[in-house]
Amino acid sequence: MSVWSLVLVCVLFGVGAYLLMDRSLTRIALGVGALGNGVNVLIISAGSDVNEAPIIGRDGTLTDPLPQALVLTAIVIGFALLTFLMTLAWRNWTISGNDEVEDDVEDRLVARRAERTAKSGDQPHHEDVTP
């Protein structure tokens, strides 16, 4: 693996992780795409020699075709996943006017209940009585 491919993998992983932490569905989809491309570059770089050609003459050694087949399959699956995520983001934008992921209603209720419990100083009452 060359230094430049390692730098490219690190940049793609960093950009993908940064975009995944946003609330916009479009950025989340782009983050998934960046992470997928980073994994593809990592697999191709790990499966090949830096200073050798893929095919060396008729009697020479050949590069292992398994990483290339895996990456080709991953490209197709990644494209389908990215298309599905972008379709979800577009559908959410047409319905609500934005493509941001909103908090769940139950999460808001739990947060409100925790705030009330903290203000009153009471211990939370657990409804679950399973042993």
Domain boundaries, given as residue ranges, for the chain: 3-120
Q: Does the 3-120 domain belong in CATH 3.40.50.300?
A: no
pLDDT over threshold 80, residue 41? yes
Give the Cα separation of 13 and 38 in Å (integer).
6
Residue 72 pLDDT: 94
Alpha-carbon distance of 37 to 16, in angstroms, equals: 9
* Confidence category of residue 45, pLDDT binned at 50, 70, 90: confident
Average pLDDT over residues 78-104: 89
**What is d(CA 127, CA 70) in angstroms, rounded to the nearest whole number?**
49
Question: CA 99, 102, 106 angle in degrees (round to 5)?
Answer: 155
The yes-or-no verdict on residue 131 having pLDDT over 50 is no
27 within 8 A of 19, measured Cβ to Cβ: yes
- The whole-number average pLDDT for the span 5-19 is 94
Contact in structure between 35 and 15 (CB atoms under 8 Å):
no
**pLDDT at residue 99 greater than cutoff 90:** no
| Predicted pLDDT at 71 | 92
Q: What is the pLDDT of residues 81-91, one digit of tens each?
A: 999 999 998 99
Task: Please write the tens of the pLDDT for every residue from 103-112.
Answer: 778 888 888 8
pLDDT at 103: 76
Query: Other C-beta atoms within 10 Å of 90: how many?
Result: 14
**Dist. CA 126–CA 131, nearest whole Å:** 12
Mean pLDDT of all residues belonging to the chain: 84
Nearest to 35 by CA among 50, 61, 17: 17
Contact partners, residue 36, CB within 8 Å, separation at least 6: 16, 74, 78, 81, 82
